[in-house]
Structure 1
């Protein structure tokens, strides 16, 4: 079947990392990133997890009972960290490629799934944010990491039928779609079914120009930008008013086909970071609606300004704060932070001005003149007295 390929994975950052993957076999190799399938395990805890107090987080929720649909290039269950995380029977393959929804020739979907729900392993510090959540694998892109809008719409509908609680879409198109497009209708169906829909914002932001990508820019979809270690926008991350939140997207460690982990960059990997937190929150607050979950994630995000901006949305997602600061009445939309109270007026004493340099010079000059006059008078008086005394003696 010939398809018009307008949807692309949001992670192929060859310009930044040389990590454009070649398709075709399970031993595909990332030419710049030196990542083979399988890969060597990465022992260290990744920086994006070091910033989270995971023990505190998992005391509240591990995502148990929550299903996250990963609409992507497939999820390879041969990676041991994903073997128990994937419900293959609830997924589907919408491509014409060989294999099924557990076949991932480019490794993209396997990376995305790992960030969400990879199980802990003794040989690596990497683990998914929601290690007890279930991944529903939906293969909608081919061995080149590309798909089309019609397939993406079908994938969203399958996720709804499979009872997904969260949908992660790490793909985008910058082609403006009609408001009544099939993809728009599929997204609306998911939102009506109370599903949290999360999509990557895209990686075409290096020129600094704001724009829109789809489905991230659709109303109701939580569009995720990529942030760096300093909580600033990653240079490649697409900016625009549609951005709703940000998450780490630079040097992201995750699972790859057959086993092990590799490092990659992109909003593709920021989106599942948010999806993992959403899974934790849905497990902790089963009565909250999807709208409540999205608003709370935005409200508790870490930001430098009171409200949103076009680069990071409402800020960088804060997993611990999102789980530990849950309000009794869940929000339906985020609101700007209150401005700090005005500081009291300082009690400043009246200003007493001293003399200027010129005034001081004038004062000292006056003193000198008066002193000279007094001395002159004294000397003159003494002279008169001495003169009188001499006259009297004569």
Structure 2
């Protein structure tokens, strides 16, 4: 199972100061004044019509909890918050597509814009939407690591993985209990990649600046995986500089790296994917082993990968098209 505090202690000689990694949370917004988020939020934008325009106030609490879980997994990350789910816990995929398009803008974009490395989405929709599919595909093509919650539908339907987790180029996250076994609400399907803890997870609450609550769902598992991906990106830049950071900053490559942390790296099934994640399964062997793993996936890295220089992997996007309305909902109980 996960041993995140142990992992950070183990790799800390190689990752302090931590290279900057930014995670975008697409959700119900955030209680920005909560103590957990001090000096962590670098940009916020609301995409939900008629709800606190230009603010991301979270009266629902779902987004606040998910953002807090990312930080509890990997405390050095920065957050960009996009409100794409209403205070009622529902939304439209058009809002999410608009948010992703905004995230892919370059430095000529709005003043409060900040490029991101990882996009975490703890919501789901049973219907396909072509414009949302386009936006997600562009994010992946631009080198963003995209992570999404599988849904909480258990085995209600033959096909119960929600979009966007159902897209093949997205890392699909299910939930497990503290024994590493699939949660009763986590769905089954060939799209499942990994399990992460998603039962009774303590996270910040939007009820007050010092309040917390326990949450369950694949929504809670997803930001944990986003945090682990941030850990990988930071570690890669520290030991291999710009070239190695660029190499791991792709969803497909990140999926293969995460497999090295999984309980079943050589076996995939529809209940557990490649199993539950424990970062120590990879990091305990040190930087030389990590470099070897990366090169096994992407091929030999240039000599520059031995340096420790920051990287800019930001790319431009194409113009978005209009989307049909598709409803989505958060993936927490």
TM-score tier after normalising by the smaller chain length:
0.7 to 0.9
Distance 1:58 1:172, change over 3 A: farther
Is residue 73 of structure 2 the alignment partner of residue 129 of structure 1? Answer: yes
Computed over aligned residues only, the root mean square deviation of the Cα atoms, in angstroms, reads 2.3
Aligned twin of 2:326: none
> Residue 235 of structure 1 is aligned with which of 171, 174, 184?
184
Question: Tell me, what secondary structure is at the counterpart of 2:202?
Answer: strand
Q: Provide closer, same or farther for how the CA distance between residues 302 and 209 of structure 1 changes in structure 2, counting only shifts above 3 A.
A: same
3-state DSSP class of the match of 1:147?
A: strand
- Aligned position for 1:352: none
**Counterpart-to-counterpart distance in 2, 1:260 and 1:99:** 25
CA distance in 2, matches of 1:113, 1:298: 24
Which residue of the other structure, out of 62, 67, 92, is the alignment partner of 2:45? 92
Q: How is 1:159-178 mapped onto 2 (pairs within 5 angstroms)?
A: 159-161=103-105, 162-175=114-127, 177=128
Q: Secondary structure at the match of 1:328?
A: helix
Show CA shifts across 1:274-307 (max 9, x none). Answer: 000000101111232313222101232123x841
Q: Which has the larger radius of gyration?
A: 1
Q: TM-score, normalised by structure 1?
A: 0.64
Q: Distance in 2 between matches of 1:208 and 1:234?
A: 16
With normalisation by structure 2, the TM-score equals 0.75
CA distance in 2, matches of 1:265, 1:57: 29
Map 1:217-236; keep pairs closer than 5 Å: 217-236=166-185
Unaligned runs of 5+ in 1: 1-46, 118-127, 334-394
Task: Name 2:220's counterpart in structure 1.
Answer: 269
Q: CA deviation at 1:67?
A: 0.5
Unaligned regions of 5+ residues in structure 2, if any? 106-113, 237-244, 299-333
Count the aligned residue pairs.
Answer: 271
Equivalent position SS for 1:81:
helix
Give the match for residue 72 of structure 1. 27
Partners of 1:71 and 1:235 lie apart in 2 by: 25
Instruction: Say if 2:193 is the partner of 1:244.
Output: yes
Residue among 226, 229, 233 paired with 1:282: 233
Secondary structure of 2:246's partner? coil
What secondary structure, in the 3-state scheme, does the structure 2 residue paired with 1:273 have? helix
Which fold has the larger relative contact order, with Cα–Cα distance below 8 Å and residues 6 or more apart in sequence?
2
**Rounded Cα–Cα distance in structure 2 between residues aligned with 1:58 and 1:76:** 30
Does the 8 Å CA contact 2:257/2:293 hold for their aligned counterparts? no
- Between 183-192 and 290-299, report the one with greater CA deviation: 290-299
Aligned to 1:25: none
Q: Distance in 1 between matches of 2:272 and 2:98?
A: 30
Equivalents in 2 of 1:283, 1:157: separation in Å? 25
